[in-house]
Amino acid sequence: MGVDLRHYSKQVELELQQIEQKSIRDYIQESENIASLHNQITACDAVLERMEQMLGAFQSDLSSISSEIRTLQEQSGAMNIRLRNPQAFRRRLRELVDGLVVPSTLVTAILEAPVTEARFLEQLQELDAKAAAVREQEARGTAACADVRGVLDRLRVKAVTKIREFILQKIYSFRKPMTNYQIPQTALLKYRFFYQFLLGNERATAKEIRDEYVETLSKIYLSCLGSMGMVAARVTQLIRGFGSSWKASVESLSQDVMRSFTNFRNGTSIIQGALTQLIQLYHRFHRVLAQPQLRALPARAELINIHHLMVELKKHKPNF
C-alpha cells in the first residue's frame, strides 16, 4: 500500500520537536545537580591544594632526615670495617658446618614422606644442595666430608628409587585407553625438579625415564596422527561441499523468505540475520583451519575467499 510522504515527513518532524522539548525539560531539571557538582569540584580543588602544601612540608622534613641518615651510614661503615674480619671467619665456618650437617627432618622426609608431599620436594632440594656442597668441599680436601658422605649416598639412593617409581607410574598412565594424556603430562610439570635431581645425581636413571617418556609419547602421537587423517578428510569434504553449493543455498533461502513474508521489511530482516550468522560461522571455520594441525591441508587452497563471499552476499542482504 502507498505511503503519503508529506504526511509521513510532518509526523516525523512533530516527533522530533516533541523529543527536543522533552530533552530541554530534562536539562532544566538537572540544573541543580550540575550546580551541586560544580560546588563539589571546587571543594575537592581546595582539599587538593591543602594536600599539596602538606606534601611540600613533608618533603622538606625528608631532606633533613636524609642528611641525618647519611651521617649514620658513615658511622656504621666505620664500625663495619672493625668487625669485618672476625665476622667473615665466623660466616665461612657456619656455612661449612651447615653444609655438612644432615638434619633429622631431611632424613625423615626422604625415607618416609610420599613424593607428592611438599615436604619431600623441599627436603629433596636440600639434599641436592648438601650433596653439591660436599662435593665442593671434597675437592678442597676437607676431611670432615667423609663423616657425611655415607649418609648422603644412602639418602640419594632412596630418593632416586622413589622418584623413579613415581615418574614411571605417571608415564604408564598415559597408555590407558581414552586417557587425556595432557592432564597427567601437565601434572608432571609440578615435579620437574625430580628429573633435575636425577640428572645431577643418577644420570642412568634419568636416561631410562627419558627414553620411556619419549617412547610412550611417540606411540600416542602416532595414534593422534591416525585420527587427524580422518579429521582432515572430513574437513576437506566440508570445504568442497560448501564451495559447490553455497550460492544455490543462499539464493534458495532468499527466495523462500521473500515468498513467505508479504512484509518486505520483515523478510529482509530475516535474510540479514541469516547471512550475518553465515559470515560469523565462516570466519570461525577459517580460524579453525589456521590451527597448526590443519595449516598444511591441501584443501585449504579451495576455500572461498572471504571478500568474494561478502560481495556475493551483498546481493541478497540490504545495507550489508
What pLDDT, in 10s, does the model give residues 115-128? 999 999 999 998 88
For range 271-294, the mean pLDDT: 75
Q: For residue 1, is pLDDT > 70?
A: no
Candidates 179, 175, 178; CA nearest to 212 is: 175
Q: What is the pLDDT of residues 72-113, one digit of tens each?
A: 887 777 777 666 665 655 666 566 556 567 788 888 998 999
Alpha-carbon separation of residue 184 from 122, 165, 215 (angstroms): 22, 15, 16
**Structural domain spans, the chain:** 104-201, 236-316
- pTM of the predicted structure, to 2 decimals: 0.45
How far is Cα 311 from Cα 320, in angstroms, rounded to an integer?
Answer: 9
If you write DSSP's letter for every residue of the chain in order, what string do you get?
----HHHHHHHHHHHHHHHHHHHHHHHHHTHHHHHHHHHHHHHHHHHHHHHHHHHHHHHHHHHHHHHHHHHHHHHHHHHHHHHHHHHHHHHHHHHHHHHH---HHHHHHHHHS-TTSHHHHHHHHHHHHHHHHHHHHHHTT-TTHHHHHHHHHHHHHHHHHHHHHHHHHHHHHTTSTT--THHHHHHHGGGHHHHHHHHHH-HHHHHHHHHHHHHHHHHHHHHHHHHHHHHHHHHHHHHHHHHHHHHHHHHHHHHHHHHH-SSHHHHHHHHHHHHHHHHHHHHHHHHHHTSTTTTT-GGGGGPPPHHHHHHHHHTTSTT-
Q: What are the b/e assignments for 71-92, b being 16+ CB within 10 Å?
A: eeeeeeeeeeeeeeeeeeeeee
Quickly state the pLDDT bin for 166 (edges 50, 70, 90).
very high
Cα 63 from chain centroid?
Answer: 44
Q: Please check the confidence at residue 267 and state whether its pLDDT lies above 70.
A: no
What is the model's pLDDT at position 163? 93
What's the whole-number mean pLDDT along residues 223-240? 68
